[in-house]
Amino acid sequence: LLSISLPLLTHAQTTETHHYAVEMAGIRVGTMTAIREQHPDNRSTYTLISDVKVRLLVYTVKIYYKAVSQYAGKKMMLSTVDTQTNRGNYVSRTEWKGDQYVISAKQYKHDRQAVERNPIDYSVSSLYFEEPVNRNRVYADYFGDYFTFTKTGTGTYRALLNDREDEYVYEKGRL
């Protein structure tokens, strides 16, 4: 009788979480949580959750946003963005099917249906975990399109898509 024992190899999943305050004119109006899960089989999942409530003179704006992006290696395989607002609920989806991405972005005052044949290897979710060094575009899952990305100074970047502009500031490589 022959008995062979092999060592059990396990690769633990690692999770990294960052918490941010969302501010408007210096006043905290909500929170943003960014989560990156590294799975043992070279897959990763990025999750962004934002919960914002802004009281205006006669109206309160509520926005709950959840984006989940799944990668196999450096290639995005699926991204979903669910947005719940007091103006309605909206969904965007980017999915690799066969040899292309099928993109459907239906958000407040924004609708885009498209296909993309080039692999998406970096999206807005990635910005919360690494500085976008040497990148001139970043995939914006919410819009189903690319931000044009420009470095404007040390650790400072400007993202532009149509009339939408965002700024990202990094210190020692961290947002």
Residue written as tokens 């490589």?
A: 173
pLDDT at 4: 43
Q: If pLDDT is split at 50, 70 and 90, which confidence band does 110 have?
A: confident
pTM of the model as a whole: 0.87
pLDDT tens digits, 25-58: 888 999 999 999 999 899 999 999 999 999 888 8
pLDDT tens digits, 118-165: 999 999 999 999 999 999 999 999 999 999 999 999 999 999 998 889
> Per DSSP, what are the bridge partners of residue 70?
45, 78
Distance of CA 1 to the CA centre of its chain: 55
Question: Mean per-residue pLDDT for 71-93?
Answer: 96
Maximum Cα interatomic distance, the chain, rounded to a whole number of Å: 82
pLDDT tens digits, 55-67: 888 888 899 999 9
Q: What is the DSSP string of 44-61?
A: EEEEEEEEEEEE-SS-EE
Q: Is 8 exposed, middle or buried (0-12, 13-18, 19+ CB in 10 A)?
A: exposed
Q: What is the spatial distance between Cα 127 and Cα 137, in angstroms, rounded to a whole number? A: 12
pLDDT at 151: 94
pLDDT at 12: 67
